[in-house]
Chain A
């Protein structure tokens, strides 16, 4: 029997995408709130996406809404991590993977620069020392 044989046709006025749980929209509001806080107080914020009941479709939707920004950072530290700015400046999509390439955690970080990207003063000091050593050897 073909589907045309059924006399009733459903017309979807709001074609709800399959797989969406409805949990992603409130996240956008939360992100906007975090941005407001960043602007007013400089305080950063993080949302742990792996801790929320989001379907793969929700994550796609969210990523689509936030868009792609200008900066994409790759970190090689026991597996690859990507820290990418979204089209919304100050909102970063952070994905950590293990050495097998599986996603271990996903965050949205609202900050001027993601914490992991910044160099730590102690590490900078070590770098400076080894550079001094290098120069003195030349």
Chain B
């Protein structure tokens, strides 16, 4: 068994203060009260690495790419030092029977305690024949692995909502993880791919508090999906002034005006791109001059066209449904109130531990 995490980190030359600083930043990012940084550091430093099994189904490996390319590598990598990633096909050295053996050993040894990360959707068509690993269908593998899992993290839009495999006409009969299980704690981390800091943030929350973070009605962590892209978009003042780019190279586009009329789905998309940004905080889609595709929302691929403005009734049904969601989440737009509320909710979590989750 591994010793406390802080010793492992120290061996890698990561000092306690670096770790404390990381936890303080993480707590702030997750809208936890500032005191949580220290509490997190203490809890995380002493934590014994829980077993994590990561299963890939109908996916493009973009989610794995995202996490392995996260910025400040030493810090994000820290989170991976905090878990024991016992099975991850892309990253593990073992293959074939050895890999399968690792999977089964991890499940047996950590029955009821391991975290299950899933990326990719699960095809139900033709008895699951569309996607098999080692001769077994994704559904079969998932059901077996979910059995002993303390919680399931659906990584990316495919696992969360079906994603691109589920796009019309959904030839493989793809479904999401939460379409299959109703009796398991599930966290959806949608995005195509999800933002690395969001992935590690959820893992850190689980490691610290032993619970899953507070979720919205689509099972997304509110700390990261509490506001729309539009809520936090730096082009928002132009939207409010009615200044819209009409083409990608007109005067408006050059002046950085709002991309709404060019199809930006920011107003109905809950994600943290506008604040967390991409590629080590370099930029994000809207900053690069392209509207948001809405990749973290269900059925974003079938929204009627990436370049059609939301107000155009390309698919009125869909827009109606999305608008209803916006209505349901009224109130989360005000970031301060939200943070305060979350802070209060989180402080109530501080005494919970792994045992609570297993109940």
Contacts and interface: CB of A to CB of B under 8 A. Distances in A.
A binds B: yes
Contact of A116 (B10, B20, B35): B20
Nearest to A94: B24
Contact of A77 (B18, B37, B280): B18
Contact of A98 (B6, B10, B28, B72): B72
Contact of A52 (B10, B29, B35, B336): B336
A107 B34 contact: yes
Nearest to B335: A53
Q: SS class of chain A's interface: helix, strand, loop or mixed? A: mixed
B20 A78 contact: no
A77 B35 contact: no
B22 interface: yes
A100 B281 contact: yes
Contact of B24 (A47, A53, A99, A105): A105
A116 B28 contact: no
B21 A75 contact: yes
Interface string B266-307: 000000000000001100000000000000000000000000
A120 interface: yes
A78 B336 contact: no
Interface in A57-78: 75, 77-78
Interface residues of A, number: 26
Interface residues of B, number: 29
A129 interface: no
Contacts of A81: 21
Contacts of A100: 280-281
A75 B31 contact: no
Contacts of B254: none
Contact of B75 (A50, A75, A78): A78
A116 B17 CA distance: 6
B25 interface: yes
A78 B35 contact: no
A122 to B, nearest CB: 8
A89 interface: no
A47 B343 CA distance: 12
Contacts of A96: 21, 24-25
Interface in B160-182: none
Nearest to A105: B28
A51 B72 contact: no
Given A51-B28, A78-B22, A105-B24, A99 B17 contact: no
Contacts of A120: 16
A123 to B, nearest CB: 6
Contacts of A98: 71-72, 281
A130 interface: no
Given A98-B281, A102-B281, A115-B20, 15 more contacts: A48-B28, A48-B34, A51-B339, A53-B335, A75-B21, A77-B21, A78-B18, A81-B21, A96-B24, A99-B72, A107-B34, A116-B21, A122-B6, A123-B15, A123-B16
